Amino acid sequence: MKSTVSWLSAEGRPARRMLALTVALGELSGILLILQTALLARIGDGVIFKGSGLPALAPLFVGLLAVIAARAAATWASKRSGFACASMVKRRLRAECIARLRSAGPVRAAGMRAGEVANIAVDAVEALEPYFSKYLPQRSIATLLPFTVLAVVFPLDWISGLVLVLTAVFLPLSMIVVGEEAHARNQSLWGKLARMSGRFLDILQGLSTVRMFGASRREAAEIARASEEHRKATLSVLRIAFVSSFLLELISTVSIAIVAVLCGLRLLAGTMAFAPAYFILLIAPEYFLTLRTLGTFYHSRMDAVSAAEHVRGLLERADALEPRQRGLWAASTVAASGLQPPMAAPARQPPAITFGDVSFSYPGRPVLEGAAFSVAAGEHVAVTGASGAGKSTILSLLLGFVRAATGEIEIDGRALGDLETAAWLDRVAWLPQRPTLFHGTIRENIRLGRLSATDAEIAEAARKAHVAEFVERLSDGLDTRVGERGIGLSGGQIQRVALARLFLRDPRLVLLDEPTAHLDGESERFVGEGIRELAAGRTMILVTHRQGTAEGLDRALVVEGGRVRDAR
C-alpha cells in the first residue's frame, strides 16, 4: 500500500499545472529579490564610498522601484495560484468523500458516526490546504532558490558561500528530527478531535433523551474531558513547533553572524570591497528565510499528513462498506471499464417489478434468502411480516441503498443494475417512517422533491398532502422556518411535509415504509388520504406491520424466513 505522502501526491496530480505555476512565480520572486539586493548594494556603495549624486543614481532607483513592484506582483500571483491549487484538491476530495458515501448507501453508512464523518470531510480536508498552497511550493522554491543565491555569492566570496552551505545543512536535519515526533502527536490530535466531534453531535441529536434520563451532567463532563484531552494534544504539538522554530532561528542567526564577522574583518583589513560584502550581508538573511519558511511550513506538512490519513481512512471505509457495482450507482466505473453504459429507464409509466431468487445479508445476519415475487404495473401491494424479517430491505434494494448478493431484480423485464441511476430514481418516491427535514423553511423542504418547482406547484403539493391545514395557522405560512430534523413541527406534520415532496416529484413508483407508524389518529387520517391520492395510477409498495393498513390494497405479501409469499 502506498504511503500517505504518496497518496497525497496522487490526489494533487490534477492540480500539478497550477502547482508548477506557483513554484515558477515563487522562483521568479526569489530571482527578483537577488536583483533587488544587488541594486541596493550598488546604491549603498555609490552613496557611501563613491559620493555619487542623485542624478547618477537615478537609473538605479528607478530600476529598484520596478524590481520591487515586479516582485510584489510575482509574490501575490504565486500565493493566489497556490490557494487555487489547494482549492482544486479540496473540492475534489470533498466530492470524492460524498461520492464514496453515496455509493455505499445510507443503510451501510449508517454505522459510521455522523460527527466524525463530518469532521473529516470538512476540517480534515481543510487542513490539507497549507500542504498544497504553502508547503509543496516552498519545498520546490527552497530547493531551487538557495542554489541560485549560492551561484551568485560564490563568485563574489567563496568563504561566505562556504559558511552558508555548511550551516544550512543543519536546518533540514533539525526538521527531520523534530518532524517525526510532530507527526505522531498530530495523529493523536486529529484522532481526539474526530472523536470529540462525533461525541458532541451524538449528544446534540439525542439531547431530549439525555435530559429525560438525567444524564446531562455526565455527558457535559464527558465533553469537557474530551475537550481537555484535545487541548493538551494541541499544546503538545505547539510545543514541538516552538522548539523547531527556535532551532531554525538559532541556526540561521548564528550563520548570519559568522558571515557578518568574516566580512567585517576583511573589510577592516582591506581585503574585501564594500559592494560585495554589503550584498552578501543583505542576501544572507533572505537565503535563510527561504529555508526557515520551509521549516515553518514543515509543521503544516505534518498536520496535513495526519489529516490526510483520516481522509484516506474515511474513503477506504466507505469503499469497504459496499463494493461499487455496475450500472446503478456506478456509471463512472462502468464507463472506465469499457463496458456498455447503463441504459436509461423506460418511459414514465408505472413499472412492473420482479424479484428473482434475491438473497441479501447484513454482516452476520441473513435477511432474504431466495426471495421471489412480482408486482404488476400499477398494482398496490402491502408487504408485511415480523420486525427484522426484511421488509424494509426490499425497499432498500429497489432504491439502491444495498445490493443483492444473489438473484436479479427486474424493472419492466430489464435488470435494475442496468438502468441509469438518475433516470430510475427520477421515477421513484420513498417515504420512510421518520423522514428528514432540513433547517430552513417548509417551502424549501417541499421543494427538495423537485428543485425547479414553482411556488404554485409547491402550494398544490402542500394542498394534496394536507400540509395546508396546519400551515394556514402559522404566521409565515409555507415560509415558516423549522429546525434541523423538523424541530418545531409534530411527527404528523413532518410526515405530511415529506408526503408533499412526493406529490411534487410526480413518481411512477411509490415506496412507503411504515408511513403512519407513531402517528395520532388525525395525522394518520390525513397521511392515509394523501397516500391514496398519490397512489392513483402508480405502482405502490407499502411496508407495514399492521394488517389493517393493508386493507384496500390489491394484495399483500408476507416476508417470513427470508422468503416472500402471498398472504392467504
CA atoms within 13 A of residue 389's CA, in its CB half-sphere: 18
**Residue-level pLDDT at 339:** 36
Q: Which of 251, 116, 264, 107 is nearest to 170 (CA)?
A: 251
Whether residue 103 is predicted with pLDDT greater than 80 in this model: the reply is: no
**Residue-level pLDDT at 255:** 85
In the structure, what pLDDT confidence band is assigned to residue 73 with cuts at 50, 70 and 90?
Answer: very high
**Residue-level pLDDT at 421:** 72
* Angstrom distance (rounded) from CA 407 to CA 355: 8
pLDDT, average across residues 96-125: 68
**Residue-level pLDDT at 70:** 92
353-566 is a CATH 3.40.50.300 domain: yes
Which pLDDT tens digit goes with each residue over 324-344? 443 444 433 333 333 344 444
% of the chain beyond a pLDDT of 90? 1
In the structure, what pLDDT confidence band is assigned to residue 76 with cuts at 50, 70 and 90?
Answer: very high
Supply the Cα-derived Rg of the chain in whole angstroms: 34
**Residue-level pLDDT at 271:** 84
**Residue-level pLDDT at 537:** 85
Bridge partners, residue 368, by sequence: 360
Q: Which of 306, 186, 192, 194 is nearest to 236 (CA)?
A: 186
Q: Which of 105-114, 243-252, 460-469 has the highest mean pLDDT?
A: 460-469
**Residue-level pLDDT at 178:** 60
Which pLDDT tens digit goes with each residue over 516-561? 777 777 777 787 788 888 778 888 888 887 665 666 788 888 888 8
H-helix or E-strand spanning residue 541: strand 539-543
Q: Which residue has the higher pLDDT, 231 or 546?
A: 231
Which pLDDT tens digit goes with each residue over 483-494? 766 677 777 788
pTM: 0.59
Question: How would you class 2 by CB atoms within 10 Å of its CB: exposed for 0-12, middle for 13-18, buried for 19 or more?
Answer: exposed
Query: Rounded to 5 degrees, what angle do the CA atoms 57, 61, 63 make?
Result: 115
Which pLDDT tens digit goes with each residue over 383-420? 888 887 888 888 888 887 778 888 888 888 888 888 87
**Residue-level pLDDT at 549:** 60
**Residue-level pLDDT at 340:** 41
Q: Which residue has the higher pLDDT, 466 or 188?
A: 466
For the ranges 140-154, 183-197, 474-488, the lowest mean pLDDT is seen at 183-197
CATH placement of domain 8-315: 1.20.1560.10
**Residue-level pLDDT at 207:** 61
Q: Quick count: other Cβ atoms within 10 Å of Cβ 208?
A: 8
Q: At what angle do helices 521-535 and 491-505 cross, to 10 degrees?
A: 10
478 within 8 A of 441, measured Cβ to Cβ: yes
In the structure, what pLDDT confidence band is assigned to residue 65 with cuts at 50, 70 and 90?
Answer: very high
Ranges of CATH 3.40.50.300 domains, the chain: 353-566
Whether residue 66 is predicted with pLDDT greater than 70 in this model: the reply is: yes
Which pLDDT tens digit goes with each residue over 425-462? 888 888 887 787 887 888 888 888 888 888 888 888 88
**Residue-level pLDDT at 486:** 65
**Residue-level pLDDT at 43:** 85
Average pLDDT of the residues of the chain: 77
**Residue-level pLDDT at 482:** 80
pLDDT, average across residues 133-139: 81
Whether residue 300 is predicted with pLDDT greater than 80 in this model: the reply is: no
In the structure, what pLDDT confidence band is assigned to residue 142 with cuts at 50, 70 and 90?
Answer: confident
**Residue-level pLDDT at 495:** 83
Ranges of CATH 1.20.1560.10 domains, the chain: 8-315
Whether residue 200 is predicted with pLDDT greater than 80 in this model: the reply is: no
DSSP 23-42: HHHHHHHHHHHHHHHHHHHH
User: For 276, which DSSP code?
Assistant: H
Q: Which residue has the higher pLDDT, 434 or 21?
A: 21
Whether residue 47 is predicted with pLDDT greater than 90 in this model: the reply is: no
**Residue-level pLDDT at 69:** 93
Query: Rounded to 5 degrees, what angle do the CA atoms 202, 433, 485 make?
Result: 40
